[in-house]
Structure 1
Amino acid sequence: MSSPTGTDDGAEAPDGGATVYDLAAECTADDVEQGKRYHATVNGVVDYGVFVDLSEEVSGLVHDSNLLGRYDVGDEFVVELGEIRPDGDLSFEEVQLSDYSTEHVPHGTAAAVTDLGDATGDTVVVEGQVVQIKQTGGPTVFQVRDGTGIVPCAAFEEAGVRAYPDVEMDDVVRVSGTAEDRDGGVQVEADSLTVLDGNEAADVQANLDDALADAAEPADIEPLVEWDAFEKLWDDLREVATELRETVLSGRPIRMRHHADGDGLCASVPLQVALERFIADHYEDSDAPQHLLKRLPSKAPYYEMEDVTRDLNFALEDRTRHGQKLPMVLMLDNGSTEEDTPAYRNLRHYDIPVVVVDHHHPDPEAVEPLIEQHVNPYLHDEDYRITTGMLCVELARMIDPDLTEDLKHVPAVAGLSDRSESEAMGDYLDLAAEKGYDEDDLRDIGEALDYATHWLRYSSGERLITDALNVSCDDRDRHAELVDFLAERAERDVQDQLDAAMSHVEHERLDNGAHLYRIDVENHAHRFTYPAPGKTTGKIHDEKVAETGDPVITIGYGPDFAVLRSDGVRLDIPRMVTELTEEVNGGGVSGGGHLVVGSIKFVSGMREEVIDALVEKMAEAEIDEELGSSTALPEEV
């Protein structure tokens, strides 16, 4: 007999009273043991005693000589199993107890989720918490989490009819059934599913909480490079890693939103692979990684209402159709500014948690009341030179340290994509060199990522992007050929764009001595192709910086937007946007970005007034030839 919860031998309960076992309806003779006491129900009365049922499958005789009272059909009393005869018949004796506790005995052998793969075909018992309830056209599938993992438990009623309708999300349950292979994983075909309560539920929940805390603990790793500035963010990253692991284990999906550029992809792809592996390690359902994690690129440098509306709609549909919990939203290389707050407020209507890992200049007072965690170098007196890709590579390693070798080149790609001028870039380049990448190779990967994600638009491009970045790619030659092709196409298209646009660039010298270049990218650049307005402006800016060697500001504008780049001028674009919002009446100004790189939007009829006011502020900015710039520009505005 499987050992019931609470005692080892069944003779004495923890408080000194006897233990009486209550068999589940499916229990068989294999689940009883001589000398143990059971709750019994009379099913027949004869001259020489009474027949009793312990379950639907277990019955036997209490001889008249072993009865202490007189009973009718349906009466209940306590019996002790006196003998199991060679022919399988069971003989019981009545016992009367003044003090005892009852323990439920499920049908099957107690098993942890991680051990079910070795128990296929056996009847098992799993105790845990319901983290998802999905009604299919056939069975109702309950995802149940114990201290080791999560397993789908299929319960059958009529086809398409909800089984166990009283069972709710987060209930602590005991499932008895047969462990079966299913699509590369294990599923329990449930014979019974019982909601636990009282001390039983409390004991199981306490064990689950302890196991969850242990499993959510991040891997104990060292940073890829020694960098004092980065060390300041290490504890913040560990807290996020803990929350992500805990979110997966609790059955909550994750919607990963990231900026659709090189750094955003260097942040999101390693983390996606790490989380998918972590999910696969803890879920017996082979489809769990696909259902629990979505990577979603965002074109704008903030969380747009279009994106949050899509996310909410999909989340609510998944809750209704698939019984999923509402997701966590994970913002990468995005999400730190006041422009994000309308979307966050929308999520709060449904208590959807938000976690942000970013390196854009933040508005902590605006966003932090609306989010759970916020990792950003500016919060530790550092800046954008610590890119989000660098941060998320370490975050991915905390979730799955076995990915380390596959990720060593990624921080260098992120740094070059966002032109990080940090003192650690040399160390990152050396790491990449160990993997066979020189600096030109890494720049080509960044260009290939930008080019591919431009044409993918709102699609994540799962395998294509993973192969281009060479994270968990199974064919290095294919990766190299793919990058060469995409990078060459990107270079060709950039050159075509510059050939069309450069003769239309307007120049003036500002009062502070900086060169100002303007380009109407709506009318003097190819539209609806690569590169988009942001990158077009960046490439023109790079040409002018190289040409002049002086402080340079470049503005690429269209009917209702402007993209801004600066080298050698101490700008504060988020502050300028705030001031323009107040000063240009009816301008409808919004936007943001880094201090010296960003984008703004405005009402098209006020374009001239907004740009003139912006140029006046730029002319008053301090010249600082030691000040660098970033290229974390929006691909689309």
Structure 2
Amino acid sequence: MTTLPSAESGFHAIAVRQDPFSSNAFFCRGENSFVRVFSAEPLEEGKAYFFEAECNETPSGLEAHAEKAVPLTEKEENALKRLIEAQVAGQTTCREPPLLFEDEGLRKLIPSAKKCAQRIMRAAQELRPILLRHHDDGDGVCGGLCMRAAIKDYLKRCRLPSFNLQLKIVQTGSSIYSIADARQDAMEAGPVKPLLLLVDFGSSDESQDARREALDSGFEIICIDHHPFQKKPEEAAELVSPFVFGLNSDYCAGLLAYEVASAIAEIPVEWAWTALKSDNSSFARKEFDKHAAAIDYLILDSPTPRPLDYYEELLSDEKGMENAFAVASAKVARATEKALQHAEVIDLGPGKALLVKVGKVLSKRIRYPSKGRLMNALHTKYSEKLDCPLVSIGYEGDKILLRANRKMAAAGFDANIIIQELKREMPSVVESGGGHNVAASMKVAPEKASEVVQVFLEKARVQLAAKIN
């Protein structure tokens, strides 16, 4: 086997990527680490050289100023590549992620979480940009926190070059990855196309065209999402989803992201528990009520997206969290009291439906509570009061919101199945919709909202009757 010649007066390295901020600097992969090389001679990306220079430690990593760059022979280059590949293999080996809680379903998700983590680490080793898009709710923010922490830790631990184009984070206001999003991402991408991480959105059928657009633009896609789909998103190189294993949306995106991130680095468990509570998962713990309410309030109350640093600091600030929780609780209580005047309970056979005209309660100038948070509060209140299978439906304009309790799910109710039927049967009325079996929404023609609600109720009655029979 060919070995590399002695490198006492310099070092061997492969020119991996030109520095985007310097025309005469390259990020070069040496036998042990990356070096930012300022070369007096032109370098060719992908070629191996012997650099006559000393490496110096700087705050941003190793740097060298080379007056001479001597190309290696083919055999020498292959020998260097074998050394580097062995090092990369060691640095892309996953940690064994700890289960947040003991559960057979969660255990089934671990292999796909590790594959996802390995692909992220490999992209970082190749100096490919990583574009992290996360949904702008408590679940999505907590998932974003997990992924960001893991990637930043990995870059630092492996002494990989860090520059501001390498990790870009975007907060997304929809559970659908849109064509507009994909085109914006493509327009802003450089010559090296990024690894696109979609956290808490992007796996649904409505996102398929945008995923294809991103794929055609040269992106590699990873979906870490708990929203259901009828057709598996084949555009994703890796998919971490409970629905692949016949599980449900209680395995929220923040939990999935925690397991993926934990295969790369150590991640605070509080972020995953906050995500579960924010998403009303059956796995949630009551002691994280304040965390979830505070983060949800501060997400919705801000007219512009706040950076993840803000939420990370909040979740470690007990006093700040208490203050945000107090304000959020008071706002929800006032809105809930007002909503009681516009609520109606009707019979569905083995269960009941709560209908709420949320537009009568929340004006457009009110940011918090959102219609979804108001429906959560009303649904909880009536579930406790009626103590029976219950579905709550809030509607206003083009939006219909749906919540169901565990008793209703056990009685055979599945909101997402009904929504998919409505989309097929009323394509000119139901523009989009989906979600989970007990929490979902639809966008409909505004003038047809009441009609859609009535058709939904009839289908719910049929669904429940079928379970009884």
The TM-score normalised by the length of structure 2 is 0.89
CA shift digits 1:109-138 (9 cap, x unpaired): 45xxxxxxxxxxxx63241241344253xx
Where 1:374 maps in the other structure, the secondary structure is strand
Q: Which AA in structure 1 matches 2:280?
A: R
Equivalent in the alignment of 1:294? 168
**Alignment-mate amino acid for residue 392 of structure 1:** A
Q: Which residue of 1 aligns with 2:308?
A: 462
Give 1:216-615 correspondences, 5 Å limit: 216-283=92-159, 285=161, 287-288=162-163, 290-315=164-189, 319=190, 325-363=192-230, 365-367=231-233, 369-401=234-266, 403=267, 407-422=268-283, 439-440=286-287, 442-456=288-302, 459-470=305-316, 479-510=317-348, 512-528=349-365, 529-567=367-405, 568-569=407-408, 570-615=412-457
Structure 1, unmatched stretches of 5+, are: 9-108, 111-122, 157-162, 430-438, 471-478, 626-637
Contiguous gaps of at least 5 residues in structure 2: none
Indicate the larger mover: 483-492 or 196-205: 196-205
CA distance in 2, matches of 1:129, 1:375: 34
1:3-402, aligned counterparts within 5 Å?
6=4, 109=7, 124-136=10-22, 139-155=23-39, 164=42, 167-168=44-45, 170-194=46-70, 196=72, 198-283=74-159, 285=161, 287-288=162-163, 290-315=164-189, 319=190, 325-363=192-230, 365-367=231-233, 369-401=234-266
Check 1:224–1:543 CA distance in 2 against 1; reply closer, same or farther (3 A cut): closer
> How far apart are 1:601 and its partner, in Å?
1.0
Paired AA for residue 142 in structure 1: F
Q: Distance in 1 between matches of 2:303 and 2:418?
A: 30
Aligned with 2:10: secondary structure? strand
> 1:385 and 1:155, CA in 2 relative to 1: closer, same or farther beyond 3 A?
same
SS where residue 247 of structure 2 aligns? Answer: coil
| TM-score between the two structures when normalised by the length of structure 1 | 0.67
1:338 Cα deviation from its structure 2 partner: 0.4
Deviation at 1:564, TM superposition (A): 1.0
User: C-alpha distance in 2, partners of 1:456/1:145?
Assistant: 43
> Residue 274 of structure 1: CA displacement?
1.7
Q: Is the 8 A contact 1:297 1:458 kept in 2?
A: no
How far the C-alpha of 1:624 sits from its partner, in A, is 11
> Would you say the 8 A contact 2:196–2:221 is kept in 1?
yes
**Pairwise CA distance, 1:5:** 5.3
Contact preservation (8 Å) 2:418, 2:456: yes
- Residues 211 and 518 of structure 1, relative CA distance in 2, 3 Å threshold: same
Change in Cα spacing, 1:494 to 1:174, as seen in structure 2 (3 Å) is farther
Counterparts of 1:294 and 1:624 in 2: how far apart (Å)?
A: 49
How far apart, CA to CA, are the structure 1 residues paired with 2:388 and 2:226?
A: 27
Q: CA deviation at 1:262?
A: 2.1
CA contact (8 A) 1:187 1:284 kept: no
Residues of 2 paired with 1:624 and 1:445: CA distance? 40
Question: 1:554 and 1:226, CA in 2 relative to 1: closer, same or farther beyond 3 A?
Answer: closer
**RCO greater where, 1 or 2, for CA within 8 Å and sep 6 or more?**
2
Deviation of the 1:303 alpha carbon: 1.6
Query: Separation in 2 of the partners of 1:623 and 1:207?
Result: 66
3-state SS of paired residue (2:37): strand
Shift in CA distance, 185/201, structure 1 to aligned 2, threshold 3 Å: closer
Q: Are the equivalent residues in 2 in contact too, given 1:305–1:343 (CA < 8 A)? A: yes
- Letter of the structure 1 residue corresponding to residue 459 of structure 2: K
The one-letter amino acid of 2:53's match is: G
CA separation in 2, counterparts of 1:234 and 1:147? 32
Deviation of the 1:484 alpha carbon: 1.0
1:19 matched to which residue of 2?
A: none
Could you report, residue by residue, the CA deviation over 1:540-588 in whole angstroms, capped at 9, with x for unpaired residues?
A: 2222212211222122222212111112333333332322222125214
1:506 deviates by: 3.0
Question: What one-letter code is carried by the residue in structure 1 that aligns with 2:93?
Answer: E
Q: Is the contact made by 2:31 and 2:80 (CA closer than 8 Å) also made in structure 1?
A: no
| % identity of equivalent residues | 21
**8 A Cα contact 2:144 2:308, kept in partner:** no
Structure 1 letter corresponding to 2:300: H
Counterpart residue type for residue 122 of structure 2: E
* Displacement of 1:623: 7.2
Query: Would you say the 8 A contact 1:152–1:284 is kept in 2?
Result: no
Distance in 2 (CA, whole Å) between partners of 1:292 and 1:524 is 44
Q: Secondary structure of the equivalent of 1:177?
A: coil
Shift of 1:259: 2.2
Which of 1 and 2 has greater Rg?
1
Determine the C-alpha separation between the residues in 1 that align with 2:125 and 2:419.
Answer: 42
Partner letter of residue 296 of structure 1? Answer: V
C-alpha contact (below 8 Å) 1:586/1:606 kept by paired residues: no
For residue 51 of structure 1, what is the aligned residue in structure 2? none
Check the 8 A contact 1:341/1:366 in 2, yes or no: no
Preserved contact between residue 258 and residue 265 of structure 1 (Cα < 8 Å)? yes
Q: Give the superposition deviation at 1:328.
A: 0.8
Taking a change above 3 Å as real, the CA distance of residues 208 and 179 of structure 1, as seen in their structure-2 partners, is: closer
Q: Which amino acid aligns with 1:421?
A: S
Aligned counterparts of 2:183 and 2:306: Cα–Cα separation in 1: 18
Q: Deviations over 1:398-424 (max 9, x none)?
A: 2114x4xxx1333332332223324xx
Output the CA distance in 1 between the equivalents of 2:39 and 2:360.
63
Q: CA RMSD in A?
A: 2.7
Matched to 1:549, the amino acid is D
- C-alpha separation between the residues in 2 aligned to 1:195 and 1:506? 78
Greater alpha carbon shift after TM alignment, 344-353 vs 373-382: 373-382
Supply the distance in 2 between the matched residues of 1:184 and 1:343 (Cα, whole angstroms): 36
| 302 and 395 in structure 1: CA distance in 2 versus 1, 3 angstrom threshold | same
CA pair 485-399 structure 1, distance change in 2 beyond 3 A: same
CA deviation vs aligned residue, 1:175-201 (integer Å, no higher than 9, x gap): 443434544533222323455563233
- Provide the rounded CA distance (Å) in 2 between the counterparts of 1:596 and 1:226: 23
Closer, same or farther: CA 148–562 of 1 in aligned 2, 3 Å: farther
In structure 2, relative to structure 1, the CA distance for the partners of 1:614 and 1:456 (3 Å cut) is: same
Compared CA separation, residues 184 and 517, structure 1 to 2 (3 A):
same
Equivalent residues of 1:468, 1:482 under 8 A apart: yes
Q: In 2 relative to 1, CA 212–147 (structure 1 residues): closer, same or farther, beyond 3 Å? A: farther
Could you say what secondary structure the match of 2:20 adopts?
strand
Amino acid at match of 2:363: H
